[in-house]
């Protein structure tokens, strides 16, 4: 299907859905040399955080009557198209969001993902959005939904903003933007949960695919660093092997008692050549599990 036809079909399908969340679609045109660049939105309202915007918010009525985003409207790098709320609930459920979490939504639009995280899961939430009108709309909506003290929003560029405090990151971006963010996401604290609507992270395969009646999402857990040379102690057995890592997947030296393995955050499972497996946790230069341990004696080059 041609790109123009695909985008038109996507817009038509989204506008026909009665229950919508948020999506980002790259704006492309023959005049743009950089496919990631779209019309730049003027930013007359610079919001550095929730404190600066509260006086402005108090002067406006709660609700969304002051500004209504339009399907397909221009944004930075993207146009805005809504999609199902059902997937939002599924994404936050799979990520096991709880009141202990800080959920950060990248490209938060009208704020519904961050608001849902606070309203339905009890989490603290923060949205990063380039369009100041969207930010004010999201703030008013948060007040209307009764979560104004648990949700914050800021006007900012997601590629120039520190969101490392997040325990859960949500996004709805096209693959090229996901890839642009991937290294930043992989450097986050092991165990951080990442959920994306519709688009994946290329070679970083998802830990889980999320399917609803009308949408698809992908889920990852940021893996710990387990690459390097390790000295294992399993009961009376002692051996040394080198583990190589590609995202959450592990391989061992040929002929090693360890064949391969997989990480899910700090949790590790190593498959042995004898058919058994080792399960445990990675913490710095130690791996520990029931009846075994390993010490990293050399980091990966």
From first to last of its 301 residues, the chain has per-residue pLDDT tens of 433 333 333 333 343 333 333 333 323 233 333 333 333 333 333 334 443 445 555 545 444 567 777 655 566 666 666 558 999 999 999 999 999 999 999 999 889 999 999 999 999 999 999 999 989 999 999 999 999 999 999 999 999 999 999 999 999 988 899 999 999 999 999 999 999 999 999 999 999 999 998 899 999 999 999 999 999 999 999 999 999 999 999 999 999 999 999 999 999 999 999 999 999 999 999 999 999 999 999 999 7
**Overall pTM surpassing 0.95 (yes/no):** no
| Fold of the domain spanning 228-299 | Lipocalin (2.40.128)
Q: Are the beta carbons of 102 and 193 closer than 8 angstroms?
A: no
Return the pLDDT at 256: 97
| Fold of the domain spanning 3-26+36-221 | Rossmann fold (3.40.50)
Asked if 3-26+36-221 and 228-299 have one fold, the answer is no
Domain ranges of the chain: 3-26+36-221, 228-299
Residues 107 and 69: their CA atoms lie apart, in Å, by 14
Of 267, 286, 287, 289, the residue nearest 278 (C-alpha): 289
Of 110, 118, 173, the residue nearest 147 (C-alpha): 118
Q: What is the DSSP string of the chain?
A: --HHHHHHHHHHHHHH-SS---EEEE---TT-SSTT--PPPP--S---SHHHHHHHHHTS-SSSSS----TTEE-SSEEEE---HHHHHHHHHHTT--TT-EEEEES-TTSHHHHHHHHHH--EEEEEES-HHHHHHHHHHHHHTT-TTTEEEEE--GGGS--TT-SEEEE---HHHHHHHHHHHHTSPTT-EEEEES--BTTB--SEEEE-SS-EEEEEEPPP---EEEEEEETTEEEEEEEEEETTEEEE-TT-SEEEEEEETTEEEEEETTS-EEEEEEETTEEEETTEEEEEEEE--
Residues 103 and 214: their CA atoms lie apart, in Å, by 24
Sheet containing 73-74: which strands, arranged edge to edge? 23-26, 78-81, 73-74
Return the pLDDT at 66: 72
């Amino acid at each position: 299907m041609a790109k123009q036809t695909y985008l038109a079909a996507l817009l038509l399908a989204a506008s026909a859905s009665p229950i919508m969340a948020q999506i980002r679609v790259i704006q492309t045109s023959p005049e743009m040399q950089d496919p990631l660049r779209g019309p730049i939105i003027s930013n007359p309202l610079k919001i550095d955080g929730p404190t600066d915007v509260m006086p402005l918010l108090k002067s406006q009525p709660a609700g969304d009557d002051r500004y209504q985003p339009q399907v397909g409207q221009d944004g930075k790098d993207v146009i805005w198209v809504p999609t199902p709320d059902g997937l939002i609930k599924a994404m936050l459920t799979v990520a096991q969001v709880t009141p202990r979490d800080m959920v950060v939504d990248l490209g938060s639009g009208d704020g519904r993902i961050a608001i849902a995280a606070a309203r339905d899961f009890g989490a603290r939430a923060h949205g990063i959005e380039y369009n100041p009108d969207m930010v004010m709309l999201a703030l008013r909506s948060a007040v209307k939904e009764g979560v104004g003290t648990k949700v914050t929003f800021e006007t900012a560029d997601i590629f120039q903003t520190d969101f490392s405090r997040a325990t859960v990151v949500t996004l709805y971006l096209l693959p090229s933007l996901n890839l642009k963010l991937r290294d930043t996401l992989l450097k986050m604290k092991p165990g951080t949960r990442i959920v994306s609507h519709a688009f994946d992270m290329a070679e970083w395969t998802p830990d889980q695919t999320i399917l609803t009646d009308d949408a698809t999402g992908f889920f990852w857990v940021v893996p710990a660093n387990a690459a390097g040379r390790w000295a294992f102690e399993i009961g009376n057995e002692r051996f040394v092997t080198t583990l190589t890592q590609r995202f959450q997947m592990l391989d061992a030296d040929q002929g090693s008692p360890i064949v391969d393995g997989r990480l899910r955050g700090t949790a590790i499972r190593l498959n042995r050549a004898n058919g058994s497996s080792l399960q445990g946790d990675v913490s710095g230069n130690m791996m520990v599990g029931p009846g075994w341990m390993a010490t990293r004696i050399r980091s990966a080059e």
